[in-house]
Amino acid sequence: MSKSSLLIYLDGNIVPEADAKISVFDHGLLYGDGVFEGIRFYNGRVFKLTEHLVRIYESARSICMDIPLTFAELEKATLDTIAANGLRDGYIRLLVTRGVGPLGLNPYQCPKPSVIIIASSISLYAPEKYQNGLVMITCATRRPAPAALSPQVKSLNYLNNVMAKIEAIQGGAEEGVMLNEQGYVAECTGDNIFLVKGGQVFTPPISAGGLDGITRRAAMDLLGEMGIPCTEIMMTRHDVFTADECFLTGTAAEVIAAVALDRRVIGTGKPGPITNKLVEKFKALVTTSGTPVTYLS
């Protein structure tokens, strides 16, 4: 199905894309007040759907917002949206906005949140980048301190990440490494980061300020099955510069190598053997597991 003919779930109805409209008074638009999830589906199965839905309910609870659907209803709405579009492989963007209210920050003046589900395709990086690896720079834009907003809340206000992404692109890179206020590596603009050193794998702890990514967890589980230790450590740019390999994980990015940071080549400058093996394992996992979609006859 072409992008122009997508069907969108909007507050209980699946409607043509041209009719999927929200009010200019929706606080999700006015203030970035809302939460979201990005979810992948492969071969007619939604990868880690339960985990993603658990996380969006936790994000909503954290910002004092009640999603107006039960867990089972939201799961069905997600699967139905994929089926309505006849897609077997793609990407879901699930959003819950605060809903319509008067001007002003007060969320309690918004009587009901809006639920929007988009099922489409996504290509975060060019295909050759999955073969050759990404070039990264360190962003001057820092991750917000957890006391400002928990990094585990996937808020619609993604401006912090957007500004870091702008820096990366303007610096001639595909990705940007984001540090916390103490100067330790937190994550990238949209992905978690892993390093390989001496046959072991390392990644920043969640306390460093990154998202506890669902693909991050899946990668750690796969590494365990491969017999490769994965340890959470506070890491600096020096650790990235001197790593044997580096790879990133994320729902949209999947698993992808990074081969340079700030004009320092990482390892051999090519995707390394552990990264390549993990990519193979991840591809096998996502194409054989997940919540099945029931397609319309």
Q: Which pLDDT tens digit goes with each residue over 155-164?
A: 999 999 999 9
Angle between helices 273-286 and 214-225 (to 10 degrees): 110
Residue 24 has pLDDT above 80, yes or no: yes
Cα 218 from chain centroid?
Answer: 13
Which of 21, 112, 129, 154 is catalytic? The answer is 154
Q: pLDDT per residue over 196-205, tens digit each?
A: 999 999 999 9
> Is 154 among the catalytic positions?
yes
pTM of the model: 0.95
SS (H, E, C) 123-162: CCCCHHHHHHCEEEEECCCCCCCCCCCCCCCCECCCHHHH
**Rounded-to-integer distance, Cα 241 and Cα 237, Å:** 6
For residue 119, what are the β-bridge partners? 92
Model pLDDT, residue 146: 85
* Residue 4 pLDDT level (bands cut at 50, 70, 90): low
Residue ranges and CATH numbers for the domains of the chain are: 3-120 (3.30.470.10), 127-285 (3.20.10.10)
The dihedral region occupied by 179, where left means phi > 0, alpha psi between -120 and 50, and beta the remainder, is beta
